[in-house]
Amino acid sequence: MNAWLIEAGLLDIAAGDPIGLVVGTGCRYAAPLSYPELVEIGLAVEHVGSSSVRYRLGVFAAGSESAAAEGHFTHVYVARDTRRPVPLPRHWRDLFDGLQVQRETT
């Protein structure tokens, strides 16, 4: 996730503001993977709040259609100096919206 945030211009580890703190995480394993096996990672945004983003990840053996693991984590974005939540900047929201999972209702 950090690589995507850096590439998108949203994360500057040394001086960026706001910064994302991981406040929750989880993973469900479905199949074994082992080093040096190549893997592919799928990334989606499940929810964008006023100061938080919940991400969903899938870990696949290279070329596989079934996930070997599915995970999630939540960033709360805070001011670097106070560590208090801050609203996501508009251009950040726009980029996150491009990764957001579209859910169908029935």
Residue 5 in this model has a pLDDT that exceeds 90: no
For residue 2, which amino acid is it? Answer: N
Q: 105 pLDDT band (50/70/90 cuts)?
A: very low
Q: What is the pLDDT of residues 22-32, one digit of tens each?
A: 999 999 999 99
Q: How confident is the model at residue 102 (pLDDT cuts 50, 70, 90)?
A: low
| Nearest residue to 32 (alpha-carbon basis) of 66, 57, 56 | 66
